Structure 1
Amino acid sequence: MSTFALIAHDLVRTLGTRRVLDGVSLTAAPGQRIGLIGENGTGKSTLLRLLAGADEPDAGRVVRPPDLGFLHQEMPFEPAATITAVLDEALREARADLAELDRLSAALTDTPPDAPQYADLLVAYGDRLESAQASDAWDADRRAELTLAGLGLAALARDRTLASLSGGQRGRVALAALLVRRPAALLLDEPTNHLDDDAAAFLEAQLRALPGTVVVASHDRAFLDAVCTDLIDLDPSVGGPTRYGGTYTDYQAAKRAQRERWQRRFTEEQEEMAELRRAVEVTAHEVAPGRARRDNEKMGYGHTAGRVQNQISRRVRHAARRLDELEREQVDQPPEPLRFRAATLASTATDGILVSLRGVRVPGRLTLERLDVSATDRLLVTGPNGTGKSTLLAVLAGRLGATGELRRRRGLRVGLLAQDTVFDRPERTARETYEATVGAQRAESVPLLSLGLIGAADLDRPVGQLSVGQRRRLALALLVADPPALLLLDEPTNHLSPRLCDELEEALGAGPGAIVIASHDRWLRSRWPGRELALPTAATDAGNGTS
């Protein structure tokens, strides 16, 4: 394993007409675990791709260790690949190290110490031994089994293809492969998506134990708190991306203070420039050619005029010089951050039960004896992967059939935010998608910008060019623009920026209508104000594992 640092210098990347990264630099030394945070669309995934070599910068350079691993938000393996094939690839280098050590050991045994090639064999053996020790090659196969178990995959048959797995399971298989490999630099994009509590805790422990470098883009506030030694905020700031030492909790306080300093400096500079402009204008008038003398200036005018005029001229020059300096070096006004401003998430319904389930079964996916959702309910659905949380939401929404008794109030409007955000017309802009979905009249009365989910600069970008998090924001906007009486949210904080997660949580607590959420988000769950439905593990069909 290499012990080199991962270094990026002055990276610039433009996608289409939009400069996503502008002069970003970072150094990640072995032992450092750096979290990338910022609003959706600020370039977290783009930066990871540049660091990994999956994309090239328009300017700047990256120095990376040769053994680097990258977990994409999207699956890096072919759908036809089996779990065994993925693990074999992850174990390939460790097994090659052990095989080469056996070969070199045999060669050293058969070669006399005074032979010319003996020294070279000894050096090669030492290098290979160092590599095997760094990756803990002797324990690699056992580590693979422990990793699969830790990520909740132990029950899956090894001959299962990736295409036959759920989206969450595929992501966990890819993550397991990287943890088994133990590369010198590990780059992770939203690694805790689809992880339950035990799997997230296992991942945190594994990352803290790695001797190499970790750079991770994550919305998971509990994960950032538990893992990171540093955070890099890609949101706009006076000096560009800002690095903060410590956890997410430390960052929150420092970020607020930094924002206040920036706003204070901007305000003070604007006030000083306004005063200087007034001073230049007034004093310039005092020395204007042909200005009539005031009565109190006529006595002794010839004696003092030159001295007074020179003093005033100096004041004009000094003020003008300072004004020019400030205008050249003034800080930009802090951009107004996106703020989630939906009036309500769900609409008012008359009191009573909206949906009632009795003895509901979806074979291999869900078993639920009883559930009533009232008109003002706040229900959090929890449980390990595979217990049927997404299945329950799909049943409540009427998108999935089930046996048993299901009663839904006549005319009930239901909205579902699914885990996977897919738009049929990716060539449409965000604005066009919004208007086509909610209708022209609703789009006019509730403009997309007014919801605080999509920025003005992204309104006319094709949906297919938006980041995963921005597409998630747009999907949420389509629901809350015309709130349903029953809002169903499947992992609503996935891919969203930490700040939006905070604001969304605040909106979930109050207001009309019923809201049902399925979530692994430990930060959200620890602050949930409503009731909770914990689905039992017994409902799981381990061979299916639909979350």
Structure 2
Amino acid sequence: MTVSYGLRTVLDGVALAAPPGERLGLVGENGAGKSTLLRVLAGIQEPDDGTVTRPAHVTYLGQVPDLPEEGTIRGAIDAALADFRVLETRMRTLEQAMAGGEETVLDEYGEVLEEYERRDGWSADARAARALAGLGLGDLPEDRRLATLSGGQRSRLALALALVVSADLMLLDEPTNHLDDAAVDYLERALAEQRGALVVVSHDRAFLDAACTGILDLDATLHVAPDGTTSTGPARYTGDYTAYLGAKASALARWAQAREAWEEAHAEAKAVLSTGSRQVGHQGYRAPRDNDKFIGHFLGERKDAAVSRRVRDAENRLARLEDNPVPPPPEKRAFTGLVEAGPADGVLVSVRDVEVTGRLRLAALDVTADSRLLVVGPNGAGKSTLLGVLAGVIEPDTGAVRRQRRLRIGYLPQEDAYADPGASALTVFAAGRHGPPEEWRDALRRTGLLHPRDLDKPVADLSVGQQRRLTLARVVSEGPQLLLLDEPTNHLSVALVEELQEALTTSSVPVVLVTHDRWWRRRWDGATLALSPTG
């Protein structure tokens, strides 16, 4: 399957099969085509090349819920259960016909009953009630108007209705958005009970680990055909996210080995051509005397022939290598600036008796050169406010905050905002630095966080994921001595989040972290600060 937008190909050579019971997670860099693939599978978008075979009942839930503005919650539930109502009505009609002696409808009744049971129509209403309760909507009255629901409530309602349908194929795009931990736990259990196939796009690594039986990685992976030819493209991995991480690491190691072997063979072939071509016609031994001219001539010809064969073999080998190159594997370079940052000593930021009215109250906190602090607490506890106070972008109403002089703080706010949305990505990256923006082009490119074609785009034209990458690039490239990260996983691919998490583990830069990422929180190896609401 191939899909292109203009001159840019987003999906190339993608193939997948999802039998009943399969729960397939889609991962890949921002812009790899994950959402596009879901739309193609749903029949909303046609591929440029290739075919799609889908079952009769398909449910698609995009990141923006497709709910009407008019109507009530009860009406939305009834619309989701409409197929079951049709089947129930048809069964009643056929039952009456059979009771009247019409045996010709027996086969049709069996088909309708089989369809109803296959989709578990008997428990459809109970499933609807469980889904609403499990996703935190159980207390809403059924006569509540849809137009009065918040964005998060609308998303959760659309997800609940998708679970009720019990489709043969369910397609979900970032279903854990707007869900708290309890709702995600319910969703994982509900998906495990689905009888049909599931294909899901998610940045939630803990969700992928709990919910998926396989992972399709749309990022390039090296493939070696039986004839030895190589290509790069998507790869499918069996098992949950944990299994995927191990298999992906092994695949990258094999790729690196294959590239090294190719480079060695390429260099060897070129060396043979370089030295061998100079040897042809030069025997390299003493001039023959009259009485051994024939022997010298004979041996010289044999040597020239051997060298010529070596040159021809090297030429053929070099041609084969260059016709089938092994590209370099992707580099992990986005966060090298964290490893290279200059260390600081002692207490970096000291907080005493700080209060931001209605948002944060904290008696004392010292952030030191070896701090690794995870800040947790419910919504409204002041986690983001604390990071803003530490960074100096929020002034407390009372209390004292002291920072080391000339301390380089890398602050990543939860939301990316730009004073001039019309400024280019390069201009934003270079703002406040010495020299014109053009002098910083190579520095931004070296991070690998933005594609070179996007460096001159206005930031307003970048996707939210690209904007997040741009802010991250600026933070990590300044050699921070303290990192303050507020939801750094938002809008990033799982691969980039894994790279960031690894970099923070190996770097000596102290970090204060706020994250909803359950995968990261469960594996946090530093201290934890729990905040409570001030009200």
| 1:316 positional shift | 2.2
Aligned to 2:205: 221
Aligned to 2:296: 301
1:470 to 463, 466, 471: 466
Q: Is the CA contact (8 Å cut-off) linking 1:346 and 1:487 kept in structure 2?
A: no
Distance 1:38 1:123, change over 3 A: same
| 1:181 positional shift | 1.0
SS at match of 2:140: coil
Return the letter of the residue paired with 1:34.
L
Q: Is the CA contact (8 Å cut-off) linking 2:72 and 2:146 kept in structure 1?
A: yes
| 1:315 positional shift | 2.3
Aligned to 1:453: 449
Q: Tell me if 1:497 matches 2:483.
A: no
Q: Tell me if 1:284 matches 2:281.
A: no
| 1:259 positional shift | 0.9
Task: Single out whichever of 404-413 and 97-106 deviates more from structure 2.
Answer: 404-413
Q: Tell me if 1:259 matches 2:252.
A: yes
Return the letter of the residue paired with 1:236.
A
Distance 1:373 1:525, change over 3 A: farther
Q: Tell me if 1:340 matches 2:324.
A: no
Distance, in Å, in 2 between the alignment partners of 1:502 and 1:345 is: 23
Aligned to 2:227: none
Q: Tell me if 1:96 matches 2:93.
A: no
2:527 to 527, 530, 534: 530
Return the letter of the residue paired with 1:472.
R
Distance, in Å, in 2 between the alignment partners of 1:380 and 1:493 is: 15
Aligned to 1:357: 355
Distance 1:247 1:160, change over 3 A: same
Aligned to 2:265: 272
Aligned to 1:125: 109
Aligned length: 504
Aligned to 2:128: 144
Q: Is the CA contact (8 Å cut-off) linking 2:168 and 2:197 kept in structure 1?
A: yes
- Equivalent runs, 1:405-444 vs 2, <5 Å: 409=401, 417-418=413-414, 430-432=425-427, 434-435=429-430
Distance 1:287 1:154, change over 3 A: same
SS at match of 1:194: coil
| 1:184 positional shift | 0.8
Return the letter of the residue paired with 1:168.
G
- Equivalent runs, 1:7-406 vs 2, <5 Å: 11-79=1-69, 82-110=72-100, 112-113=101-102, 118-119=103-104, 121-162=105-146, 164-239=148-223, 240-288=233-281, 294-295=285-286, 299=292, 300-337=295-332, 339-343=334-338, 351-353=349-351, 356-357=354-355, 361=358, 375=367, 378-383=373-378, 387-388=379-380, 393=384
Task: Single out whichever of 408-417 and 221-230 deviates more from structure 2.
Answer: 408-417
Distance, in Å, in 2 between the alignment partners of 1:76 and 1:345 is: 50
How well do the aligned residues superpose, as a CA RMSD in angstroms?
A: 3.9
Distance, in Å, in 2 between the alignment partners of 1:103 and 1:136 is: 20
Distance 1:306 1:29, change over 3 A: same
Q: Is the CA contact (8 Å cut-off) linking 2:25 and 2:201 kept in structure 1?
A: yes
Could you tell me the TM-score, scaled by structure 2's length? 0.80
Return the letter of the residue paired with 2:83.
E
SS at match of 1:40: coil
Q: Is the CA contact (8 Å cut-off) linking 1:44 and 1:217 kept in structure 2?
A: yes
Distance 1:442 1:481, change over 3 A: farther
Distance, in Å, in 2 between the alignment partners of 1:495 and 1:55 is: 24
Write out per-residue CA displacement over residues 410-441 of structure 1, whole angstroms, 9 at most, x where no aligned residue: 9999966336x687987765435545x66785
Write out per-residue CA displacement over residues 129-161 of structure 1, whole angstroms, 9 at most, x where no aligned residue: 122112211211121111111112212333445
Return the letter of the residue paired with 1:136.
D
Aligned to 2:226: none
Distance 1:26 1:467, change over 3 A: farther
| 1:219 positional shift | 1.9
Return the letter of the residue paired with 1:267.
E
Task: Single out whichever of 485-494 and 496-505 deviates more from structure 2.
Answer: 485-494
Return the letter of the residue paired with 1:70.
Y
Could you tell me the TM-score, scaled by structure 1's length? 0.78
Q: Is the CA contact (8 Å cut-off) linking 1:345 and 1:507 kept in structure 2?
A: no
| 1:178 positional shift | 0.7
SS at match of 1:236: strand
Distance, in Å, in 2 between the alignment partners of 1:282 and 1:422 is: 60
Structure 2 unmatched ranges of 5 or more: 224-232, 390-395
Distance, in Å, in 1 between the alignment partners of 2:146 and 2:469 is: 28
Q: Is the CA contact (8 Å cut-off) linking 1:374 and 1:514 kept in structure 2?
A: no
Identity %: 39
Distance, in Å, in 2 between the alignment partners of 1:468 and 1:43 is: 15
Distance, in Å, in 1 between the alignment partners of 2:153 and 2:525 is: 26
Distance 1:292 1:483, change over 3 A: closer
SS at match of 2:216: strand
Structure 1 unmatched ranges of 5 or more: 1-10, 363-367, 399-403, 540-547
Quick one: higher RCO (CA 8 Å, sep 6+), 1 or 2? 1
| 1:69 positional shift | 1.4
Task: Single out whichever of 184-193 and 509-518 deviates more from structure 2.
Answer: 509-518
Distance, in Å, in 2 between the alignment partners of 1:515 and 1:476 is: 15
